[in-house]
Structure 1
Amino acid sequence: MKNILKLFLVFGSIVLICGVVFLIKNTSTYNTRVYKVNTGYGYEISMGSKILIKQDHVPAISEQHTFCNSEDALKIANLVISKLENKENPRITTAELKTNAIALNCLN
């Protein structure tokens, strides 16, 4: 009976350790930094110390406009992170800009 209990404890410990290692390894941590650009804001997405995306302008539009405010830059950065975490293409569309009410004309 003692041998079965020891075997069960050893096996349980191994399963627990493997589970913890799996969770730690598969947990991706993306970091976002919104920063000031000359005429507005941009964002940066990194994983650890590696910068994955540096976006100085609003994506998906032909003109090179910066984000009018830090909140808009953060909304889109969080959308990109959500796509990355779901293993989707992180490209932003004009429809997503409209859905998130991203201002494209900072004068209004």
Structure 2
Amino acid sequence: MFMKNILKFAFGFGLIAIIVVIFYQTSTESSSDYSTRIYTVNSGFGYEISLHNKILIKQDNIPAIQNEIPFCNEDDANKIAALVIDKLERKVAPTISKIELQENKIVLNCLN
């Protein structure tokens, strides 16, 4: 009898723990109102960031560098667009630095 009670308690506790985890995950996952579109430009890629279907940012070139060159690949454009969206959601300036380009391993010379 004692063992049955322990099993019931463990089952109940486990069920409650699962419900708490599911609730926590659904409450912390925010569905962003921002959307990204990667597009081709001048033998490379750029990105647009929209909010409720209104374009906020259109970036044809890699930000933070002097030369006006597009991203070498879609993945790099997407990485930086995601970083900009993260900053917008945190309500900080959506600027990108050279250090952030390096941290995200953004290719700056498409020939290499």
TM-score by length of 2: 0.71
Q: What is the deviation of 1:76?
A: 0.0
Residues paired across the two proteins, number: 84
Q: Gaps (5+ residues) in structure 1?
A: 1-26
Which residue matches 2:82?
Answer: 78
Which residue matches 1:69?
Answer: 73
Q: Distance in 2 between matches of 1:51 and 1:73?
A: 16
List structure 1 segments (4+ residues) > 4 angstroms apart after TM superposition.
none
Which residue matches 1:97?
Answer: 101
Deviations 1:48-82 (A, max 9, x none): 12100000000000100100000000000000000
Q: What is the deviation of 1:89?
A: 0.4
Which residue matches 1:9?
Answer: none
| Identity value in percent | 60
TM-score by length of 1: 0.74
Q: What is the deviation of 1:28?
A: 5.1
